[in-house]
Amino acid sequence: MKRRCVVLMIFLSLFFAVPVHGETAGGEPFGEISAESALLIESSTGKVIFEKEADVPKSPASVTKIMTLLLIFEDLSDGKISLLDQVTVSNHAASMGGSQVFLEEGEIQTVETLIKCIAVSSANDGCVAMAEYISGSEEAFVDRMNEKAKALGMKNTHFVNCCGLDAQGHLSTARDIGIMSRELTEKYPDIFQYSSIWMDEFVHKTSKGESSFGLSNTNKLIKTYQGCNGLKTGSTSKAKFCLSATATRKDISLIAVVMGCPDSKQRSEDVRKMLDYGFANVIVYEDEDPLESWNVVEISGGERESVSIHSGEKFHYTLLKNEEGKQITKNVKILQEIYAPIKKDEVIGEIDYLLDGEVIGTIPIYSSEEVKEKTYIFSLKSLWNQVRLDT
């Protein structure tokens, strides 16, 4: 068993080497940008392509709403709320200033309508209404936002409210915004059904009657940049102009974050430069069939002599086109001795991916089926069946 494992590792290293190209993050390869801080990442892997003062805490303005949306979609996924749930707007929610859709106290809207108001028109009143519906109060919801930020590794973020209005201590960074943007879009891609809407409308429903209200996306790149499908703008006098933008072309998805831009025009121009650079230079290496044709391994002490295996996941890695002389190789490693009993989806090995000899990622190898331990009774039955076949 050990010999077979070693031979397979050498075979894969020799025959699955893939030439790639790339460049380390840093500098401004696309010219200067006005943003005080910025980050560009490839979404599927989270690899940083470019950064500028990405860990300096700043006011995030309405980009805060990405975390609010993340928690909404988390509860939708867990079945705690549904898109058709009816939400009653409180006086506190209706009193929100800044960007709003003018919800009235006592007005009833569905969760889906409020998601649309938040994602498209950056509705502060919609944010607070959802926060209160989910957690009972905005304060309790903000506590959950901060807990989620900590769990995601957002080291320099603290939320004071759920909508992004300027407040003492309400801070985040370009890197942390990239983290929560990636979490939302990779885990809950349904967000794009809302963040990519250019114009829409909803109906106010109050005791005074019904009236239509138009929604217009605050992210103008949705209309003007090919592949842009989100995500969230923000602007206040303190934060200046901020944006976390998402865009996809072919198999490449990017997230570009800017904070502290002087105006909305420069904000869009900065993001456009970053995305253009990313799409022109990013390569995503994908290994969709890590085990190739190898699908069984030998075992000892079982009712069968082998067990089927699978990798359970694909491998992705991001590089840039102008990196030269790099090679990705993979080493498949199986446990030297595998004894029954074996449970289904038990880890029995792993695949290491290496870039010029350094490990850049590892995925597990699982058993595809259960194999019971060979018992004395089973051995007797097998022997008896063999005798019957021979006679």
Predicted local distance difference test score (pLDDT) of residue 188: 98
pLDDT string in tens for the chain (391-residue length): 333 443 344 334 433 444 343 333 444 677 899 999 999 999 998 999 999 999 999 999 999 999 999 999 999 999 999 999 999 999 999 999 899 999 999 999 999 999 999 999 999 999 999 999 999 999 999 999 999 999 999 999 999 999 999 999 999 999 999 999 999 999 999 999 999 999 999 999 887 888 999 999 999 999 999 999 999 999 999 999 999 999 999 889 999 999 999 999 999 999 999 999 999 998 888 888 888 878 888 888 777 888 899 987 888 888 887 765 678 888 988 887 888 898 999 999 999 999 888 898 899 999 999 988 766 554 455 555 554 555 5
The Cα–Cα gap between 142 and 165 comes to 13
What crossing angle do the helices spanning 65-77 and 174-187 adopt, rounded to 10°?
30
Predicted local distance difference test score (pLDDT) of residue 268: 97
Q: Which two tokens stand for residue 301?
A: 């002490």
Torsion of CA 192, 196, 199, 200, to 10 degrees: -10
- Angstrom distances, CA of residue 290 to CA of 56, 298, 351: 39, 19, 8
User: What residues contact 376, with CB distance under 8 A and at least 6 apart?
Assistant: none
pLDDT digits (tens, 9 = 90+) for 255-269: 999 999 999 999 999
Q: Residue 188: how many CB atoms within 10 A of its CB?
A: 16
Cross-strand partners of 258: 38, 243
User: What residues contact 231, with CB distance under 8 A and at least 6 apart?
Assistant: 66, 181, 184, 185, 191, 195, 219, 244, 245, 246, 255
Are the C-beta atoms of 72 and 135 separated by less than 8 Å?
no
The Cα–Cα gap between 146 and 240 comes to 23
Q: At the fourth CATH level, which superfamily is domain 2-16+292-377?
A: D-Ala-D-Ala carboxypeptidase, C-terminal domain (2.60.410.10)
pLDDT digits (tens, 9 = 90+) for 56-82: 999 999 999 999 999 999 999 999 999
Which residue shows structure tokens 């950064």? 51
Are the C-beta atoms of 181 and 233 separated by less than 8 Å?
no
Q: Tell whether the torsion through CA atoms of 103, 107, 109 and 111 is positive or negative.
A: positive
The three-class DSSP label of residue 7 is: helix
Give the pairing type, strands 296-298 and 252-261: unpaired
The Cα–Cα gap between 308 and 366 comes to 9
Each domain of the chain, given as residue ranges in start order, spans 2-16+292-377, 37-281
The residues carrying an active-site annotation are 62, 65, 122
Q: What is the pTM of this model?
A: 0.82
Nearest to 42 by CA among 230, 360, 318, 353: 318
Same fold, 2-16+292-377 and 37-281: no
Predicted local distance difference test score (pLDDT) of residue 342: 85
Spacing of C-alpha 362 from chain mean position:
19
Predicted local distance difference test score (pLDDT) of residue 18: 43
What crossing angle do the helices spanning 124-135 and 111-121 adopt, rounded to 10°?
140
Q: Tell whether the torsion through CA atoms of 354, 283, 260 and 188 is positive or negative.
A: negative
Predicted local distance difference test score (pLDDT) of residue 27: 47
Q: Is the peptide bond before 231 cis (omega within 30 degrees of 0)?
A: yes
Are the C-beta atoms of 365 and 349 separated by less than 8 Å?
yes
The CATH number of 37-281 is: 3.40.710.10
Nearest to 50 by CA among 28, 66, 34: 28
Q: Which two tokens stand for residue 116?
A: 């649309």
Backbone angles phi, psi at 331, to 5 degrees: -115, 120
Predicted local distance difference test score (pLDDT) of residue 286: 84
Predicted local distance difference test score (pLDDT) of residue 54: 98
Q: Which two tokens stand for residue 80?
A: 């705690």
- Residue 264, classified by CB atoms within 10 Å of its CB into exposed (0-12), middle (13-18) or buried (19+), is middle
Nearest to 129 by CA among 98, 101, 166: 101
